Chain A
Amino acid sequence: DTGVSQDPRHKITKRGQNVTFRCDPISEHNRLYWYRQTLGQGPEFLTYFQNEAQLEKSRLLSDRFSAERPKGSFSTLEIQRTEQGDSAMYLCASSLVSGSGTDTQYFGPGTRLTVL
């Protein structure tokens, strides 16, 4: 399978614990995105990388959240001191910018986080 993969698919944690999610993009893609989706809403942008550089972060990404993409390959998203409001589906997407500059993003299956 050559699509975007995410691990774990589900995570249940207690409030105050730290969690880390991993995303492996499509191999030739140079951009990697993180989004968060809550019930009844569309995905909301969190941050994105071009190769290993983190180029943009949303205001949604509080200082408890950190993302990395070492060597421009896989990425991790860490949430420290989790809160119940962090419960959501965390989605990763990757893309390869076309010659015209358009950017079609392909999503992974997501990690469902439940904070008790």
Chain B
Amino acid sequence: DQQVKQNSPSLSVQEGRISILNCDYTNSMFDYFLWYKKYPAEGPTFLISISSIKDKNEDGRFTVFLNKSAKHLSLHIVPSQPGDSAVYFCAASGPTGTASKLTFGTGTRLQVTL
């Protein structure tokens, strides 16, 4: 039972354009969502998170949007840079205060081309 889904295994975007990575979840108890970036042979690196009390969180070039009614979140990277090329994982946890383990999607490989 895949509770967190990333339906696009890969995405290619030109440098300077916007990258949009999508994630869907099924468990309504999830209330905290995170995006991680992973390079080969390294551990995931935390990028940005959002709590279910918000619908948007921004940090520099990265913005995460949460649509609770649709159980959908997205990560926007603007402008995309070649160093952003990596695998991006969406993760979820909750309910806050009782369940903190992360449930991950299968990842989206982003390639930023020159």
Name the residue of chain B whose CB is nearest to the CB of A97: B100
Q: B34, B41, B44, B45: which has the most chain A beta carbons within 10 Å? A: B44
> How long is the Cα–Cα vector from A93 to B41 in the complex, in angstroms?
16
Whether B43 lies near A40 (C-beta < 8 A) is no
Contacts of A109 in B (CB 8 A): 41-43
Contact across chains for A106 and B96 when beta carbons are under 8 A apart = no
B103 touches A (CB below 8 Å): yes
Query: Which residue of A31, A42, A101 is within 8 Å of B106 (Cβ)?
Result: A42
Interface centre among B32, B43, B91 (most CB of A within 10 A): B43
Q: Which residues of A contact B62 (CB under 8 A)?
A: none
Are A44 and B44 in touch, CB under 8 angstroms? no
Q: A53 to nearest B CB, angstroms? A: 13
B32 touches which of A56, A102, A106 (Cβ 8 Å): A102
Closest to B103 in A: A45
Residues A100 and B51 in contact, CB atoms below 8 Å apart = yes
Nearest Cβ on chain B to A95's Cβ, whole angstroms: 8
Query: A48-B100, A102-B51, A104-B49 are contacts. A42–B43 as well, Cβ < 8 Å?
Result: no
A interface list, Cβ under 8 A from B: 4, 6, 31, 33, 35, 40-45, 48, 56, 58, 91, 93, 95, 97, 100-110, 112
Could you tell me which B residues sit within 8 Å of A by CB distance? 4, 32, 34, 36, 41-46, 49, 51, 89, 91, 93, 96-97, 100-107
